[in-house]
Structure 1
Amino acid sequence: MHRKTPRRLAVNASRHYVSLKRAAGLPSRGHPQRRTMTDSPDAESHFLEQLGQRVRTMRALRGMSRKVLAKVSGISERYIAQLESGKGNVSIVLLRRVSDAMGAHLEDLLPSADPTPDWQMFRDLLRKATPAQIAQAKDLLAGGSATAPRRAPFCGIALIGLRGAGKSTLGKILAKKVGWSFVELNKEVEQQNGLSVAEIIALYGQEGFRRMEQAALQQLLARNELMVLATGGGIVSEPLTFDQILSSFYTIWLKAEPEEHMARVRRQGDLRPMADDRSAMAELRNILLSREPLYARATAVVDTAGLSVDAAAARLIDAVRPVLQNEARSFGLRSVAL
């Protein structure tokens, strides 16, 4: 018999270990297999594509061109293009810079199950709620009793839509026709803060402007007077403010073709925030595409495509006639002859 050396004993032990792993159905080399993200490159690619789409949609909701987002965030325009195309594996720190530049919540950029349209509004309400309000909401959601919801006071007509939709022009005509005051929300923001919208955004960013916009709306509602309100095109990107508009006003989306929006804006000499952007038309289409589902939450839609100012005003007046008659009966308002 040959005496077994330590080397031979080790070899035999190794062979025995391999045979046991094979019998158990385990791989003969390395560690047992574990499922990881790297085993599914398609899942990773899909995640990055969804992330890019969310960044692109959020940027469009804010009405920001890629060039503007790059300038505000300090991230190169080329890198943002890669991120939006699903080819940029961005770090969480850079993604936070992108969300901060847009005045958005970081979690809104992360792909997840599609929430209900009101989810963001509920979330923001919870963030501002007192402990007592949160306890009351929990009790209600758990099936507790609650009083019937109060109807918000009727404050008038609100016009929403992209720049160039005719909100100011048609709003003034409608206000004069019904005898109400005409208010432009952006001008109220400027008057209350002593700064132009551009200066506010430059100093305080998108998030700061949205806070001031919400405060200006609250002050308008506190007047308790009927008005025709022209809103900024991006108001739909702020859930709480937009929900207040929808609940307090008969809201009308003034709709037109992208080419008409662009032509009207050019005639006004205002290309914010797409000035000097060679892809301005593509950006405008992207903005409209991203905002359309939110604009569509309006009570009514008035399509002004191809219409003169007089024809568009007549169509708007026709759209508000039923609600004015209904509100007059419900609240004892002075009947308006249209």
Structure 2
Amino acid sequence: MRQRTHTDVPHQRRTTLGIEDYLARLGDRVRAARAQRGMSRKILARDSGVSERYLAQLESGRGNPSVAVLHQVADAMDMSVMELADPHGGTDPALAEIQALLAPLAPAELSEAAEILERRFAGSGTRGRRIALIGLRGAGKSTLGKALADALGFPFIELNREIERDYGASIGEMLSLSGQPAFRRYENRCLNAVLNDHEEAVISTGGGIVSNADTYTMLLRRSHTIWLQASPEEHMQRVVEQGDMRPMAQNREAMSDLRAILEARAPLYNRAEASVDTAGEAPETSLAKLTETARALIA
């Protein structure tokens, strides 16, 4: 019988730690992807068919999912299993090297790197005189967007209304019947149509558009994008004041969920060409700042 050498135990320990580290990173990735899409764990459980309890274990790094479970979770978030399980897997050496260089960068540095790559290899596209507003619900995209369009003499377009018109039902019904993948397909198609049909426009987008890489890249390349910012408390208050109680319905952790969504999306929102902070300001003041910013972009 082979004698155990002093190298065996460290190897086993490294293997165990490697698995634990991988599961922890996988859990972080699932949680971040869910937050970017604004999906509660309950909704992801419904759409994926994976129990809410198991998803909690998976996100905490204590789950050891099968390929089938990963496929269900990834499909519900409109991702590939490879994206979810190993974002660096299956790539050529050059791309792997780029990913290794980007991995240690802070969110702000990643945004800067993305802009450099876009300018160098994708071109700026034709933004025309289109202004696109991004940000969480309650940021003022509809209210301020409509007023901005009036000030500029541009048509005002709410992308979600275009999606509902194309689909033939409300977004809530679409998500309930067809899930996130269908919504993201319609979002991409409707945005492309709006950009093709309008040289001048103010476009209000859904808060989660930034989580769809292809659609968000199209928006950044073909419009002047402005991030409307506010504090999490103001986002929540404004939504509730508009009569929408969904954020609070059957969710005692609505505010912590909102903070998680904002934290996950902030690096993506930060890729916008400009930002306007509306926190603690009267609508008239915010509109003046937004109008000034928009006019500078399309000048």
With the shorter chain as reference, the TM-score category is: 0.7 to 0.9
**Structure 1 residue 171 corresponds to structure 2 residue 145:** yes
Output the TM-score relative to the length of structure 1. 0.74
For structure 2, the 5+ residue unaligned runs are 89-97, 103-109, 115-120
For structure 1, the 5+ residue unaligned runs are 1-17, 19-26, 122-140, 142-147, 326-338
CA deviations over 1:198-231 (Å, ceiling 9, x no partner): 1111222101111111111111122133000000
Distance in 1 (CA, whole Å) between partners of 2:239 and 2:144 is 15
> Amino acid of the residue matched to residue 44 of structure 1?
I
SS in 2 for 1:40: helix
SS in 1 for 2:202: strand
2:23 corresponding residue in structure 1: 48
Q: 2:261 aligns with which of 257, 269, 287?
A: 287
Could you say if the C-alpha distance between residues 70 and 150 of structure 1 is closer, same or farther in structure 2, counting changes exceeding 3 Å? closer
> Amino acid of the residue matched to residue 62 of structure 2?
K
Q: 1:191 aligns with which of 138, 150, 165?
A: 165
**Structure 1 residue 73 corresponds to structure 2 residue 48:** yes
* Shift in Å, 1:281: 0.8
Distance in 2 (CA, whole Å) between partners of 1:69 and 1:103 is 11
Distance in 2 (CA, whole Å) between partners of 1:65 and 1:166 is 23
Could you say if the C-alpha distance between residues 170 and 82 of structure 1 is closer, same or farther in structure 2, counting changes exceeding 3 Å? same
* Shift in Å, 1:268: 2.2
**Structure 1 residue 299 corresponds to structure 2 residue 267:** no
Larger radius of gyration: 1
2:67 corresponding residue in structure 1: 92
> Amino acid of the residue matched to residue 318 of structure 1?
E
Q: Is the 8 A contact 2:229 2:276 kept in 1?
A: yes
1:321 corresponding residue in structure 2: 295
2:130 corresponding residue in structure 1: 156
Q: 1:308 aligns with which of 275, 282, 290?
A: 282
Output the TM-score relative to the length of structure 2. 0.83
Could you say if the C-alpha distance between residues 178 and 89 of structure 1 is closer, same or farther in structure 2, counting changes exceeding 3 Å? same
Q: Identity rate of aligned residues, in percent? A: 47
**Aligned alpha-carbon RMSD (Å):** 2.7
1:332 corresponding residue in structure 2: none
CA deviations over 1:180-202 (Å, ceiling 9, x no partner): 00000000011122111111112
CA deviations over 1:84-113 (Å, ceiling 9, x no partner): 111111112111111111222222222455
Q: 1:270 aligns with which of 244, 247, 255?
A: 244
SS in 2 for 1:63: coil
Could you say if the C-alpha distance between residues 171 and 150 of structure 1 is closer, same or farther in structure 2, counting changes exceeding 3 Å? closer
* Shift in Å, 1:39: 4.8
2:212 corresponding residue in structure 1: 238
Distance in 2 (CA, whole Å) between partners of 1:33 and 1:208 is 50
Distance in 1 (CA, whole Å) between partners of 2:276 and 2:18 is 42
2:221 corresponding residue in structure 1: 247
Q: Is the 8 A contact 1:160 1:233 kept in 2?
A: yes
SS in 2 for 1:228: strand
Could you say if the C-alpha distance between residues 308 and 29 of structure 1 is closer, same or farther in structure 2, counting changes exceeding 3 Å? closer
1:210 corresponding residue in structure 2: 184
How many pairs are equivalent? Answer: 273
Distance in 2 (CA, whole Å) between partners of 1:201 and 1:219 is 21
Could you say if the C-alpha distance between residues 272 and 33 of structure 1 is closer, same or farther in structure 2, counting changes exceeding 3 Å? same
Q: Is the 8 A contact 1:159 1:167 kept in 2?
A: yes
SS in 1 for 2:132: strand
Q: Is the 8 A contact 2:128 2:199 kept in 1?
A: no
SS in 2 for 1:57: helix
CA deviations over 1:278-321 (Å, ceiling 9, x no partner): 11111111111100000000000101111111111111112122
SS in 2 for 1:254: strand
Could you say if the C-alpha distance between residues 68 and 158 of structure 1 is closer, same or farther in structure 2, counting changes exceeding 3 Å? same
SS in 1 for 2:157: strand
1:137 corresponding residue in structure 2: none
CA deviations over 1:208-264 (Å, ceiling 9, x no partner): 111111111111122133000000000001111111110111100001111111111
Distance in 2 (CA, whole Å) between partners of 1:45 and 1:29 is 24
CA deviations over 1:127-176 (Å, ceiling 9, x no partner): xxxxxxxxxxxxxx9xxxxxx95742414100000000000000011000
Q: 1:258 aligns with which of 213, 232, 257?
A: 232
Q: Is the 8 A contact 1:64 1:273 kept in 2?
A: no
Q: Is the 8 A contact 2:247 2:254 kept in 1?
A: no
Q: Is the 8 A contact 1:183 1:228 kept in 2?
A: yes
